[in-house]
Structure 1
Amino acid sequence: MEVEFMDDFTREDREEALRAIASMINRTEKAKEKFAQGISQHTLQMNRLKALHIASSLISKGLTKSDAVECYTEEDLKNALAPITSLISKSEKARVKLAQGTWQHTMLSNNLKALHIALPLLTKALHEVSQ
């Protein structure tokens, strides 16, 4: 069953969201390498990566009509909520400080749109697996 929320976004919106999330995954992978395993910053990056992979999978679900929710446990989905909401908050705060039209502002705007597509899907998936 396709998520009703996805009807609010075009296929192009979802494809752009997947590209933005893939870019976030790439940057997070690079950031993770800068920190020693076991320290809090490394753990933060690992949690973000898992959450971004889940977000990507849930958005893909809407494009392919597959059941991505079955791939994740309730705990996986719960654990993904905090990193996604944190990324939204941090991105919103950072974007305010940037001039509109700069590549950084555009990148953050694209990231925010992707995360705002992913968050309700994550919430809905969590609801589905917890029933």
Structure 2
Amino acid sequence: MISYLNLILRLTIWFLLTANFSVANIIIGVSIALILPGGRPKAPGALRDWLRALGEVLVAIPQAYLEAFEMLVRPHNHEEVKMEQVKAGRTPGLIFLDIFLITFTPKSIVLKYHQRGLYEVHWLRPSRKR
């Protein structure tokens, strides 16, 4: 089941990048998605992690609109860079989704993913009162 989710994720990224749903592009996308390496073996609880991550994607969409509106109303001039720990047992696909979720919202962006299990995240915060 998890390999199907990885295949769907790869095809979704392919179609977002190409914005072309012709038969030739679908064949190319499926071929590339199947050729890419699968990564490490999947953990038994990975399906639950995928479903939780997809739920977080659905929550991130309205959150992004709220953050954008908040930035229009209140200035966000304070910047900080923090290191955040990757959740334990994440597959490469789930790590990609985590990075996507952090970067999708307007107040944060992942600057770098460290192989030892850390994200370097740049945050915008509201201005501090003096």
TM-score (norm 1): 0.29
Q: Which structure has greater strand proportion?
A: 2
Structure number with larger C-alpha Rg: 2
Structure with the higher fraction of residues in helix conformation: 1
TM (normalized to structure 2)? 0.29
